[in-house]
């Protein structure tokens, strides 16, 4: 399928002082009218059709304020092999969903999330990992020690930034404006974190890990860390977690944490410390950089958009929510075919995905997709289905996943001040001729 050049208006909608309806009025020349279900009755279809390049057969099902997916992309080609650059200090770049079509994410397509300045000297031959704190036997391990003294395993493991999807919050949440591509599932090689902790001997008083890396703080102040997070001991002992020194059969990419990093699938990517130099065990919840306050935390209760929430009412993010992604066709595709395959991935924190459903009529009806089992614990799952569109025009393909505990992705999630955990439907635009 050919990919259309999208019109970048997401920022226009998000930042408009009058909100989405005022933005819609300005763009389309009229305010949408809705019945009690909130469906659009009149949105200036001629204007919308001109923008998306075709008539919209299921326009009556479109929710109010919906930005057509064809208009929501703003592509930047800077970065690692087609990634979208969000920030250069620190460097952060996401992967357009259609570049994530592989079952295993290539190193060149894995997103980049930095909090500080990456280290310059990453020579694996001299790298040391310290394991200490509340352990019986503190350890100082080279990468060669890890390879020789512990079982080396390779696993396909999902890493996803806790702020993936932040760009869709209104009012905007501060931070990198990730859309859908702050996620990847590379094949990581290393040793089990659990095995290393057992070798050190975990004291009964230990309840939490603390992680440190070799990256520097943006301020340049010596001793000030950009990120030092941890996790409960029971999560640390999960056999899916790796201390990794390899990515996709080669070395870890420097921007992905070479030569040594943690990979903790199912939890926010901030738990997967890059440029790993130390793991220490504590008798309290770790209070390192970006572990306290509101960092990687959400309110304990629903809050009104834009409201201020007391810091003490935030709780630490643990398992990530169920989520899915369309990787083919690409958003903005044009095709003469009305029957074609739609495919992608789905994942679900500490559990697995049970079902995936797809809609092409703005959610009025859904059809089931076939879903593969994960290749191993912590991997995402591939799904696919064939859609048959009834006539030429502009369509949106929506996808939703449901996990093994019956939790289904929502159309939209409750707002939170930091813009975390957005697992709303992924949707793409397809125009048939």
d(Cα 431, Cα 56) in Å, to the nearest integer?
9
**Residues 342 and 329 sit within 8 Å (Cβ to Cβ):** yes
Structure tokens at 68: 């057509």
The pTM assigned to this predicted structure is 0.85
Angle at 265 between CA 176 and CA 148, to 5 degrees: 120
Structure tokens at 277: 């130099």
CB 370 within 8 A of CB 384: yes
- Cα–Cα distances (Å) from 251 to 9, 104, 122, 256, 297, in that order, read 39, 16, 11, 10, 32
Tokens of 229: 């997070």
| pLDDT digit string, tens, across residues 263-310 | 999 999 999 999 999 999 999 999 999 999 999 999 999 999 999 999
pLDDT above 70 (res 10): no
353-359 sheet: strands from edge to edge: 2-3, 333-335, 426-432, 393-403, 353-359, 367-368
Residue 158 pLDDT greater than 50, yes or no: yes
CA angle 141-270-118, nearest 5°? 65
- Please give the Cα distance from 135 to 139 (Å, whole number): 9
Confidence band (pLDDT; 50, 70, 90) for 88?
confident
In terms of Cβ atoms closer than 10 Å to its own Cβ (0-12, 13-18, 19+), residue 351 is middle
pLDDT tens for 347-372 read 999 999 999 999 999 999 999 999 99
Neighbours of 380 (CB within 10 A): 30
pLDDT at site 6: 41
**DSSP assigned state of 199:** H
Q: Please state, in angstroms and rounded to a whole number, the distance separating the CA atoms of residues 304 and 261.
A: 38
Residue-wise pLDDT for 69-82, tens only, equals 765 544 333 336 78
What domains lie within the chain, and their CATH numbers?
A: 2-67 (no CATH), 85-292 (3.90.420.10), 323-432 (2.60.40.650)
């Amino acid at each position: 399928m050919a990919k259309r050049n999208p019109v970048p208006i997401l920022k226009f909608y998000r930042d408009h002082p009058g909100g989405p309806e005022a933005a819609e009025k300005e763009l389309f020349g009229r305010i949408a009218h809705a019945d009690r279900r909130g469906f659009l009755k009149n949105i200036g279809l001629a204007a919308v059709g001109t923008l998306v390049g075709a008539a919209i057969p299921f326009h009556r099902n479109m929710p109010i304020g919906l930005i057509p997916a064809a208009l929501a992309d703003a592509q930047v080609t800077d970065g690692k092999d087609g990634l979208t650059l969000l920030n250069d200090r620190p460097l952060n770049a996401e992967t357009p969903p259609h570049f994530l079509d592989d079952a295993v994410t290539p190193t060149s397509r894995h997103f980049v999330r930095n909090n500080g300045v990456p280290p310059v000297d990453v020579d694996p031959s001299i790298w040391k990992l310290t394991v200490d704190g509340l352990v019986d036997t503190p350890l100082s391990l080279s990468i060669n020690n890890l390879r020789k003294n512990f079982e080396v395993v390779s696993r396909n493991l999902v890493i996803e930034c806790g702020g993936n999807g932040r760009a869709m919050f209104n009012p905007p949440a501060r931070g990198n404006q990730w859309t859908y591509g702050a996620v990847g599932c590379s094949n990581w090689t290393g040793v089990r974190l659990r095995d290393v902790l057992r070798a050190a001997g975990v004291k009964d008083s230990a309840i939490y890990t603390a992680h440190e890396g070799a990256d520097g703080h943006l301020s340049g102040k010596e001793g000030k860390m950009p990120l030092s997070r941890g996790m409960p001991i029971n999560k640390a002992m999960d056999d899916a977690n790796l201390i990794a020194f390899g990515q996709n059969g080669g070395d870890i990419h420097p921007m992905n944490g070479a030569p040594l990093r943690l990979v903790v699938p199912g939890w926010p990517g901030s738990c997967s410390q890059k440029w790993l130099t130390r793991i220490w065990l504590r008798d309290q919840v770790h209070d390192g950089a970006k572990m306290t306050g509101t960092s990687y935390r959400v309110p304990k209760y629903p809050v009104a958009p834009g409201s201020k929430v007391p810091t003490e009412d935030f709780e630490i993010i643990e398992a990530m929510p169920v989520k899915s992604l369309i990787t083919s066709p690409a958003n903005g595709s044009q095709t003469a075919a009305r029957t074609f395959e739609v495919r992608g991935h789905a994942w679900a924190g500490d559990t697995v995905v049970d079902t995936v459903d797809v809609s092409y009529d703005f959610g009025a009806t859904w059809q089931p997709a076939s879903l593969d089992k994960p290749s191993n614990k912590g991997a995402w799952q591939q799904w696919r289905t064939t859609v048959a569109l009834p006539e030429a025009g502009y369509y949106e393909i929506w996808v939703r996943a449901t996990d093994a505990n019956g939790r289904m992705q929502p159309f939209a999630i409750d707002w939170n001040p930091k813009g975390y955990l957005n697992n709303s439907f992924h949707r793409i635009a397809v125009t048939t001729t």
